[in-house]
Structure 1
């Protein structure tokens, strides 16, 4: 006879929770803090740094802010080090870093850097001009990043953002010049962005060609076509085809008179105000609507979405076309807002910086827009530092936006996860 061991009434099951800890954000913040501290040690400066906060027409005048340059910079280093410790503690516990932490880190670092750069200068830094210029430089990047977020949320990697921006700038210049209407130029830019996106969708979604290769080829194609037509068509007939009417600035009553932020944010053109509306609109559409739910479904698990009746290819097609139209608005900025004519490769890699903003923003519209603003600020620093005569080589300032892009993608994004089916063509079984 075989004796069976008694079975306990309740089996004790040990549940182990496995937490994936990412130290990328901690390392990234720490490296930036260490490099800034090293800069202060190797290149100390003396004197105060002055910031001009007021402009003509403010509701009330703010006095200029004068701070001791080196002392302020070292205080900022201490604050940055504390934020590094906070990020490290959150990472060790497997918790997500809140959005306000990288935003505060960036603000503290930039203020400390400007205080160091302007120390001892007899000129002050025009703070309002610095913010306003950063917003303007960020506009095409924001629109490109929004297009990238929508595409990747649907499962399509939109490497062709650069081509969509450039095509939008070209068509806006031509149509705006012929019709003498910036509104028609803006509409033409949207159409051209949609057309470039349609080519991407045909090959990437319908014919399932590698999405990265298609995007790169489209960028090269658009650069070649616009450069050819610029040389052969626009240059000989510049007055008729390459001299657009730009949007005028529209000051919003009362808001435009708020000190510091008023002139910088609320005395802008229609395209900038469209950016203010587009960011929350894209977030709401992706997060709170049925269309957004379907887009996210086909980007995460297209087979499951197909099982419940969602047309995967149709949903991806619509998302890619919408993304192209939004990127086209960013392209129009160059020729109906910034300047009044088209130039060869005038986007200067803004589409690729927009892709970095998508990754930096963790595929979230609001985070991606904030990342784009950071890149815009980095691009605008050269002008501000040249005013105060900062000892920073101009070559370094020219490459600063791209350095920030590399740091953002490589170290400062922390834990990030792209949509599971991003870049993967869907084959219905």
Structure 2
């Protein structure tokens, strides 16, 4: 395979789960809730999706099952932080650890097993373009739906009443409540949708891009997703760009190996995380921009309507 084709194809595969999960996390944070349990949700979804595709052979059912499993875990998180008014940071870490533990528990009988890859859906004409076509337009259908989801979320925040309500709840929950909106309900639903999307991303990794189950296979992607939302400054278009950049960094190991360059595997494996640290560090040098773009009530407990 041509190196450029390999780079494009690998970037798309690596970026898609990051993009899907980051869009969900962006929605959650826009509503004013900080969800740090993404890693556990993705892990639980990956295990659930792999079990379902192993038993049924249906990849779409596996993606749905993984999404539902993560959404159920998000119910636990939402209940703790929105109903019981628990600390969002502590609750997020705890629920994330719970998800990791459950994924290891239910996935242990399937350790090391593989499944058939999801069927590809080449886009007519576009997939025939030399070099670029096979890299960008010859993938499973779910991959093409990710940028459509990004476009839909961008439009929702920009042009719909629903988007305005979510943003208002995230900026000033007291004001949103004063004009008649149920802040807790809006945030609860946002957390559920965010969990559902994190679940699709997690199941994608085990049944579409990797087609195997191994405990710990999420390998920090959930934390990269959280960093990606900050890197994007809570803007949808920058989430798409950031997902592509981080996706490219994630396949750097395979790209370097394919070019015959000798380098320590540990260093190559750490490239995505090094890139994440560098990106956040550079961004943090201008803390004022982060404060101006972050939802004002992000991470704050709200009890006004209790």
Normalised by the length of structure 2, the TM-score is 0.93
Aligned to 1:371: 242
Aligned to 1:246: 117
Q: Does 1:143 align with 2:20?
A: yes
Partners of 1:131 and 1:358 lie apart in 2 by 23
The structure 2 residue matched to 1:303, chosen from 151, 157, 174, is 174
The structure 2 residue matched to 1:205, chosen from 82, 93, 103, is 82
Partners of 1:134 and 1:256 lie apart in 2 by 16
Partners of 1:383 and 1:178 lie apart in 2 by 31
Q: Is the 8 A contact 2:44 2:102 kept in 1?
A: no
Partners of 2:299 and 2:245 lie apart in 1 by 27
Superimposed CA distance per residue, residues 179-235 of structure 1 (whole angstroms, 9 cap, x where no aligned partner)? 22111111101111211111110001111111111111111111112212223x435
Aligned to 1:397: 268
What are the equivalent positions in structure 2 for 1:84-103 lying under 5 Å apart? none
Partners of 2:102 and 2:197 lie apart in 1 by 21
Aligned to 1:416: 290
The structure 2 residue matched to 1:167, chosen from 44, 47, 51, is 44
SS in 2 for 1:390: coil
Structure ID, larger Rg? 1
Q: Is the 8 A contact 1:172 1:188 kept in 2?
A: yes
Partners of 1:161 and 1:271 lie apart in 2 by 20
Aligned-pair CA distance for 1:251:
0.5
Partners of 2:52 and 2:263 lie apart in 1 by 41
**Structure 1: stretches of 5+ with no match in the other structure:** 1-54, 56-124
Aligned-pair CA distance for 1:412:
3.6
Which deviates more from structure 2 when the two are superposed, residues 200-209 or residues 410-419? Answer: 410-419
Partners of 2:73 and 2:83 lie apart in 1 by 15
Aligned to 2:301: 425
Q: Which has the higher helix share?
A: 2
Partners of 1:177 and 1:285 lie apart in 2 by 36
The structure 1 residue matched to 2:67, chosen from 166, 176, 190, is 190
Partners of 2:157 and 2:194 lie apart in 1 by 12
Superimposed CA distance per residue, residues 365-414 of structure 1 (whole angstroms, 9 cap, x where no aligned partner)? 22112112111111111222223333644332211111110111111465
Aligned to 2:217: 346
Q: Does 1:215 align with 2:86?
A: no
Partners of 2:273 and 2:143 lie apart in 1 by 23
SS in 2 for 1:293: helix
Q: Is the 8 A contact 1:244 1:335 kept in 2?
A: no
Q: How large is the Cα RMSD of the aligned pairs?
A: 1.8
Q: Does 1:327 align with 2:198?
A: yes
What are the equivalent positions in structure 2 for 1:284-295 lying under 5 Å apart? 284-295=155-166
Normalised by the length of structure 1, the TM-score is 0.67
SS in 2 for 1:319: helix
Task: Work out the number of aligned pairs and report it.
Answer: 300
Q: Is the 8 A contact 1:182 1:247 kept in 2?
A: yes
Q: Is the 8 A contact 2:41 2:73 kept in 1?
A: yes
SS in 1 for 2:290: coil
**Structure 2: stretches of 5+ with no match in the other structure:** none
Partners of 2:75 and 2:171 lie apart in 1 by 22
Aligned to 1:226: 103
Partners of 2:237 and 2:203 lie apart in 1 by 22
The structure 1 residue matched to 2:277, chosen from 393, 406, 416, is 406
SS in 2 for 1:279: helix
Partners of 2:10 and 2:47 lie apart in 1 by 23
